[in-house]
A and B are shown apart, each in its own frame.
Chain A
Amino acid sequence: MQHGKYRFIVGFLAVPLAIYAVFVISPFVQAIYYSFTDWTGLSSDFKVVGFDNYRKMFEDDIFWKSVGHNVLLLLVLPLVTLGLGLFFAFMLNVGGRRRKNAAVAGVRGSGLYKVVYFFPQVLSIAIVALLFQFAYNPNSGALNSFLKAIGLDSVQPDWLGDPQLALWCVMAVMVWSNVGFYVVLFSAGMSSIPRDFYEAALLDGANRVQTFFRITLPLLWDTVQTGWVYMGIMALDGFAVVQIMTVGPGGPDYSTEVLAYFLYTKAFRDGQAGYATTLGVALLIVTMIFAGVVMKLGRRERLEF
């Protein structure tokens, strides 16, 4: 059995590990190093400048504007997306009643709903962003002509061109494309909750709202928390939707600028590779703080079942 074991292990691990080290680990480590240099990315000379990039970042208005937008996305997106996901999943798994002699079941056609709701999730975010860029078009887009068709000729917003509205339009697209995933995720979690819990609640005369808040939500809490972290990481990205959908540098008057897109323009348009990696480190720190806060706030007694 032992014969050739180590040769086998090394043979099987060497290539995957090498590829992973070169293309994933080394760039991450380098990013932290480059954030302390004045590297332009255009030439190979650079020098270590200590915390200069970090100082520059703290004085950069557009950086703070992007952080503000990212924080808004972090607060609004998970709340709306997970809220809708929970509501739909509850309807599809527990919401229906009195069918096939089962006390607890999803509403009719729940399988079909789950398949359809998931559609946006399998499309490339680039394609989704492009589709909605057309839909938001103020002159001939689907949205404004729909408003016109129902008699709202006077309400013809400029959607992505309006600095007040642009970020909300971007958020709506991100909600649209992600709700389906959470419906499926929460459905998977809900199906592992024992039926007797629901039957007992039903016998005690609990209605659906009470059932949801007393049974489903507490037992699903771990999944909700994981979903919150996932959605938060999604909210911190937003690169494709902002790059493709919004006009100008990060939307009209930087109204949709987010850290990921700001980093991209600094690195690949402005020749400030060192500064861009500093923004990347800031993004990593925000991500970690966010995950830590969710885990800490969300901690409650673990329910075993």
Chain B
Amino acid sequence: MTAQQGPRELPGVDSPKGRQGSEGGVLNVFSHGVLILWGLMVTLPLLWAVMSSFKDDKSIFTSPWALPSSLHLDNWSRAWSQAHMSEYFLNSVIVVAGSLFGTMLLGSMAAYVLARFEFPGNRFIYYLFVGGMSFPVILALVPLFFVMKNMQLLDTYHGLILVYIAYSLPFTIFFLSGFFRTLPSSVAEAAVIDGASHTRTFFQVMLPMAKPGLISVGIFNFLGQWNQYLLPAVLNVGDEDKKLLPQGLVALAVSQGYKGDWSGLFAGLVIAMLPVLAAYIVFQRQVQAGLTAGALK
């Protein structure tokens, strides 16, 4: 905000060193300052949470910004076992593993057919899928709840998996059908001439060729499904033990407010943050590519 007005006042100010051109020096110091400031604003809350997860309850309250006097690793083990974080973590792993596999399999199958075969209704089905990207999920939420209730899918892993798959299909199909269209058709034709069925051609020739695209959209879906909050908050509330990680953590925070185990809560928060941050740092190129491709359609 104020940061944006900065350069408007500064241009043309001569650099004290002179060597860097008319606006190099001062403006570079200024712009680095602003960039570092935002970097701190992004990282400090995260570091504060990590720091608090190693403290005892008393020092969290009395000196929130001080370094922990000794490392209270028991916070982590307490959060992991007594506060059920391990169960929530496992629930998230089960649901996300199932829905990620289903999304990638079904999404790539549909995208392949829509991208590479001509048949009546192809465009209609494509836009039916892709149109789903632009509607707010919350509008469908109330009827969805009752659809799930009637099919006895509320509070079940497979119910959540099906819903996650359904809501991940639009972006997955949009992204992958674009990708399949760019693959050369000569390889697929050769396989078919050699006597491979369409199904076999898809699994043994086309899918391996689409690997970079599958990885990008796979990571994108992993982050989205792992971080999902709204859907489980509505469709998965019957059974305490079946909560997913973000949901379980929020429930914990509400009940913990009365029990006062703040250090355990911070440990839980960090346990929930670490896997995605680690996955992101390893795959940051693919994550950024996947996200921007989605928005730049």
Contacts and interface: CB of A to CB of B under 8 A. Distances in A.
Contacts of A88: 35, 38
Given A23-B167, A135-B45, A264-B234, A9 B119 contact: yes
Contacts of B42: 116-117, 119-120, 176, 180
A249 interface: no
A227 B291 CA distance: 12
Contacts of B112: 12
A283 B138 contact: yes
Contacts, number: 283
A65 interface: no
Contacts of A151: none
Contact of A122 (B20, B114, B170, B280): B280
A51 interface: no
Given A126-B246, A268-B234, A12 B109 contact: yes
Nearest to B165: A19
Given A96-B28, A107-B31, A207 B61 contact: no
Contacts of A155: none
Interface stretch (B74-82, B139-147, B208-216): B139-147
Interface of B: 1, 3-4, 7-8, 11-12, 20-24, 27-28, 31-32, 34-35, 38-39, 41-43, 45-46, 48-49, 52, 60-65, 106-107, 109-110, 112-114, 117, 119, 125, 128-129, 132, 134-136, 138-147, 162-163, 165-167, 169-170, 173, 192, 197-199, 202, 223, 226-230, 233-234, 245-247, 249-250, 253, 262, 266, 269, 272-273, 276-277, 279-281, 284, 287-288, 291-292, 295-297
Given A20-B132, A207-B12, 10 more contacts: A9-B119, A23-B167, A31-B140, A87-B4, A98-B24, A115-B281, A130-B249, A142-B65, A244-B250, A280-B142
A20 B109 CA distance: 14
B295 A185 contact: yes
Nearest to B111: A16
19 contacts: A5-B117, A16-B109, A19-B162, A25-B132, A80-B1, A113-B39, A115-B281, A122-B280, A126-B250, A130-B250, A132-B45, A140-B60, A140-B64, A176-B41, A184-B291, A185-B296, A273-B146, A276-B142, A281-B139
B106 A19 contact: yes
A126 B296 contact: no
Taking residues whose C-beta sits less than 8 angstroms from the other chain, chain A's interface range is 35 or more
Contacts of A24: 132, 140, 166-167, 169-170
Given A31-B140, A31-B142, A116-B42, A13 B125 contact: yes
Given A16-B106, A139-B61, A284 B280 contact: no
A146 interface: yes
B139 A28 contact: yes
Interface string A6-38: 101101110111011011111110110010000
Contacts of A179: 38
Q: Is the interface of B mostly helix, strand, loop or mixed?
A: helix
B180 to A, nearest CB: 12
Q: Is the interface of A mostly helix, strand, loop or mixed?
A: helix
A239 interface: yes
Contact of B4 (A83, A188, A276): A83
Given A1-B192, A130-B250, A142 B48 contact: yes
Most buried by A among B24, B132, B223, B273: B273
Contact of B143 (A34, A135, A239): A34
A31 B139 contact: yes
Contact of A280 (B43, B49, B141): B141
A223 B1 CA distance: 21
A263 B38 contact: no
A123 B276 contact: yes
Contacts of A243: 233
Contacts of A277: 139, 142-143
A189 interface: yes
A209 interface: yes
A59 B14 CA distance: 61
Contact of B288 (A6, A114, A119, A208): A114
A252 B146 CA distance: 31
Given A179-B38, A264-B141, A16 B107 contact: yes
Contact of B61 (A120, A133, A140): A140
B275 to A, nearest CB: 10
A149 interface: yes
Nearest to A274: B142
A243 B38 CA distance: 27
A123 B106 contact: no
Nearest to A130: B253
A97 to B, nearest CB: 6
Nearest to A122: B280
A28 B133 CA distance: 13
Interface stretch (A161-169, A229-237, A296-304): A229-237
B166 A20 contact: yes
Interface in A189-224: 189, 207-210, 212, 223
Contacts of A115: 281, 284
A95 interface: yes
Nearest to B60: A140
